[in-house]
Structure 1
Amino acid sequence: MRIIIPMAGMGKRMRPHTLTVPKPLIPIAGKPIVQRLVEDIAKVCHEPIEEVAFIIGHFGEAVEQDLRSIAQSVGAKGSIYYQEEALGTAHAIMCAQESLDGKVVVAFADTLFKADFRLDTDADGTIWVQRVEDPKAFGVIKLNANNEITDFIEKPQEFVSDMAIIGIYYFRDGAYLRSELQYLLDNDIRDKGEYQLTNALENMKNKGTKFIPAVITEWLDCGNKNATVYTNQRYLEYIKDEEGLVASTAQLQNAVIIPPVYIGENAVIHNSVVGPYVSIGNNTSVYNSVVNNSIIQESTTVKNGNITNSMLGSFVSYEGSQADLSLGDYNTLKE
């Protein structure tokens, strides 16, 4: 099994946090978004993961090494490919064409999920979906009586289905997918100026490929600050019974910790109340503060704060009062 993860986007909706780090490397409950994604896919595949291929911009050697380490964490080889220009989802996947072989999961790195199914790897293809109240903002699928996908509809303004495509796909034959994507590129078949995966899916379906749905239990977005803070909350709820969420090297002095929380290595919590739903990165210090429902990354200092629904990057210095914050790396703010 191979996992292909296109993640070359700029993450503009997550600025200022994505000015210094790619969005998929922002931590959720102590692990980067993309690591959570890879681990959760591996859990439902129930097959060894041979390779994880990351399609990125030129993010630097440190980021590339982090991504290879994420692949190694699930026992896989990590491969790096580059997308030089944003030309659509089909183009992005084809940047990793050498890895499109055998069983393949394609997962776009701006979404996380929870699922309780076992992936049917004998199926031709599987589209991961979730039922939504208002499908107008999503691509959706229609099914026949045999639970096979008959149609892909993008943002239907009249109701046709409530099963929204979340951006994760399984293909039993990666080489076949590669040939269909190559057909789009060779014949310059675009939708709104870009090469789209959905066009390849439609062609494959028309040639007899049987796609089935895999319905997830929860779809978690990391598209902006508020959504990411909420996703952090949900993950902390999922993993609250795991050991090691508060590092043994963390220094807790006159601290009240309200679970679930994640507190990283060598963090200092002094005269403060932290939690619930707080993730604090390695080497971060919190003094004389109250923090809840927030993400604070590494090597940051917070003093005299009352922080909620917030994201603070790494190497931030914040001293202030009650706030709903979104501070990128290396910022200093005093009130």
Structure 2
Amino acid sequence: MAKLEVVIPVAGVGKRLRPHTYSMPKALIHVAGKPILGHILDEVESLRPSKVVLVVGHAASMIKEYVKKKRNSVYKFVHQPQPKGIGHAVSLAGQELSGGPLLIILGDTIFKTDLKRVISKRKNAIGVKPVSDPSRFGVVEVQGGRIRRVIEKPKRPTSNLAIVGIYYIEDSRVLLEELDRLVSSGKSTKGEFQFTDGLAGMVKRGLRLGIFKVEGWYDCGTVKATLDANVSLLELSGGNRRRFKDSVVLKPSYVDRSATILRSVIGPHTTVAKGAVIIDSAVRSSIVEAGARIENTILERSLVGRAARIKGKAASVNASELSELSYL
């Protein structure tokens, strides 16, 4: 049996998460105690793949630095010079692939599902989840357990089965051929080559493409979605236990060992990353990135970027890296 290979596109600029993604890739934003990419790699490594190809672009050096700390030889990097979409990214990854079983996971998708079971069936399948607003996502139309059509962000949806960003392809040669053909044709939407067009090409060629339900899907494409994912995942994991003489950490929360907390109340549902400092403050349902400093403040539903400075006044903030907000 051919060995499993994995592709993770993480080259996107993350427009919907600006201003945070001006200086860092969205895959490295912390959610429930670790970067989004960390959640994905933990799941992937449990599958023991022969190769994991990360397609990098924006802030590539930061992604590489994070992944190389894992000291695992299965990781390879392919550079996407321009943000031309997921279809283009996977096509570029083809140079590192053998054409056998392939798992593709989008780099802003945290999930909880039994991928070992999906892979063991050795059948082409796309992870889906019923949603209330399918026009925001790529969707599939299914008939008799088989995908009949793949549609990218339909204006008038005929299905509520959203594509969550996890794909298993047993024989990836056909998919890679379709993506190469798509890129060569120049057929793009707003400058991007849609991965769903490659899947649609597989369906047109008569290949059977099924679905598998993903109940645990935590989209991190916007600030609101990322904060919601942080709450849900902390509820699942319980966070970690940190105790301070003059501060309280309410469960579930995650506070990094190197963070400094003085005379403050943290949580519930709060992530505090490496080297952050929180003094005389209350922070709830928020994400505080590495090196941020918060003083004399009450924060709720906030995303505080790396090395940002927040001081004074109750607020809900979306402060990017090195921001300085002072309310006197």
- State the Cα distance separating 1:139 from its structure 2 match: 2.0
How far, CA to CA, are the matches of 2:285 and 2:23 in structure 1? 23
Question: 1:227 Cα shift?
Answer: 1.6
2:81 counterpart of 1:84: yes
After superposition, where does 1:122-201 map in structure 2 within 5 Å?
Answer: 122-145=121-144, 147-191=145-189, 193-201=191-199
Question: Deviations for 1:19-68, whole angstroms, at most 9, x for unmatched residues?
Answer: 2211101111221111212323555xxx4222221111152544312123
> 1:310, CA displacement in angstroms?
0.4
Distance of aligned partners of 1:228 and 1:205 in 2 relative to their CA distance in 1, 3 Å threshold: same
Contact 2:12 / 2:58 at 8 angstroms: preserved in 1? no
Structure 2 SS opposite 1:229? helix
Q: Distance in 2 between the 1:192 and 1:286 partners?
A: 43
Shift of 1:323: 0.6
Shift of 1:253: 2.6
Secondary structure at 1:199 match in 2: helix
Aligned to 1:246: 241
1:29 match: 32
Provide closer, same or farther for how the CA distance between residues 19 and 232 of structure 1 changes in structure 2, counting only shifts above 3 A: same
Please say if residues 57 and 83 of structure 2, whose CA atoms lie closer than 8 Å, have aligned partners that are also in contact: no
Which residue of the other structure, out of 264, 275, 280, is the alignment partner of 1:288?
Answer: 280
Q: Does 1:331 align with 2:323?
A: yes
Does the Cα contact within 8 Å between 1:50 and 1:76 map onto a contact in 2? Answer: no
Contact conserved, 2:15 with 2:21, CA < 8 A, in 1?
A: yes
Deviation at residue 192 of structure 1 after TM alignment: 5.3
TM-score by length of 1: 0.88
**What residue identity is the alignment partner of 1:299?**
G
Residues in 1 aligned to 2:137 and 2:63: alpha-carbon distance in whole angstroms? 31
**Cα distance, 1:48–1:183 mapped onto 2, change above 3 Å:** same
Q: Residue type matched to 1:55 in 2?
A: V
TM-aligned CA distance change 1:284 to 1:48, over 3 Å: same
Q: For 1:156 and 1:59, how far apart are their aligned partners in 2?
A: 31
The question of whether the paired residues in 2 share the 8 Å contact of 1:319 and 1:333 is answered with: yes
Cα distance in 1 for residues equivalent to 2:192 and 2:35? 29
In the alignment, is the contact (CA less than 8 A) between 2:138 and 2:196 conserved in 1?
no
Match in the other structure for 1:98? 95
Task: Give the gaps of 5 or more residues in structure 2.
Answer: none
Structure 1 residues 76 and 261: CA distance shift in structure 2, 3 A:
farther
Residue 115 of structure 1: aligned partner: 113
Tell me, in whole angstroms, the C-alpha distance in 2 between the residues paired with 1:193 and 1:317.
37
Please say if residues 260 and 276 of structure 1, whose CA atoms lie closer than 8 Å, have aligned partners that are also in contact. Answer: yes
Distance 1:4 1:184, change over 3 A: same
| Maintained 8 Å contact 1:68/1:79 | no
Who is 2:65 aligned against?
Answer: 65
SS of residue paired to 2:20? coil
The 3 A distance-change label for structure 1 pair 171 and 261 is same
Residues 156 and 317 from structure 1, CA distance in 2 versus in 1: closer, same or farther, beyond 3 angstroms?
Answer: closer
* Residues 16/134 of structure 1: CA separation in 2 closer, same or farther (3 Å cut): closer
Cα-to-partner distance string for 1:156-201 (whole Å, 9 max, x where unaligned): 4445221111122111122332222222233334455542222221
- C-alpha distance in structure 1 between counterparts of 2:22 and 2:77, whole Å: 21
Partner secondary structure for residue 203 of structure 1: helix
Q: How far apart in 1 are the matches of 2:153 and 2:305?
A: 34
Structure 1 distance, partners of 2:60, 2:131, is 38
Q: Report percent identity of matched pairs.
A: 30
TM-score (norm 2): 0.90
Root mean square deviation of aligned Cα:
2.2
Cα displacement (A) at 1:314: 1.9
Which whole-Å CA distance do the structure 2 matches of 1:219 and 1:232 have between them? 12
Pick closer, same or farther for the CA change 1:58–1:21 going to 2, 3 Å: closer
The reply on whether 1:319 has 2:311 as its aligned counterpart is: yes
